């Protein structure tokens, strides 16, 4: 009935059954519009959720890659740390050796 002519509308207004059918057509049309809008909203939300899921997967891959890089670099960092500790010990040993050499030098001057 939404496409009814003016004459059909007048006849429908006079007939209770036609008014009821007209009202049902209007309700059906309205419900159809609401259903389409709800469907569109659900589809948009689904698309948004898929986008979020894709972004989370990308982030997960990035963190996994970063974890692998850190694990690979750990050996390098351990080697650097060991080299620093070795250097510190060597500097301490060298310092003691230089002090001994100075002491022997001073002692040798006093004797000679």
Give 7-42 as a 3 state SS string: HHHHHHHHCHHHHHHHHHHHHHHHHHHHHHHHHHHH
In a domain, 72, yes or no: yes
In a domain, 1, yes or no: no
In angstroms, the CA 85 to CA 76 distance is 14
Q: How many domains does the chain have?
A: 1
In angstroms, the CA 95 to CA 88 distance is 11
Q: Is 70 exceeded by the pLDDT of residue 1?
A: no
In a domain, 85, yes or no: yes
Model confidence pLDDT, tens digit, residues 62-104: 999 999 999 999 999 999 999 999 999 999 999 999 999 999 9
In a domain, 15, yes or no: yes
Domain range for 62 is 6-111
């Amino acid at each position: 009935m939404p496409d009814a002519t003016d004459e059909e509308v007048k006849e429908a207004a006079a007939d209770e059954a036609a008014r009821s059918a007209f009202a049902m057509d209007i309700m059906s049309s309205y419900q159809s519009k609401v259903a389409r809008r709800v469907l569109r909203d659900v589809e948009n939300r689904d698309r948004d959720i898929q986008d979020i899921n894709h972004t989370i997967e990308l982030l997960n891959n990035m963190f996994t890659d970063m974890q692998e890089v850190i694990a690979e670099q750990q050996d390098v960092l351990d080697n650097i740390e060991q080299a620093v500790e070795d250097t510190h010990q060597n500097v301490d040993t060298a310092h003691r050796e230089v002090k001994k050499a100075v002491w022997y030098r001073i002692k040798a001057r006093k004797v000679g």
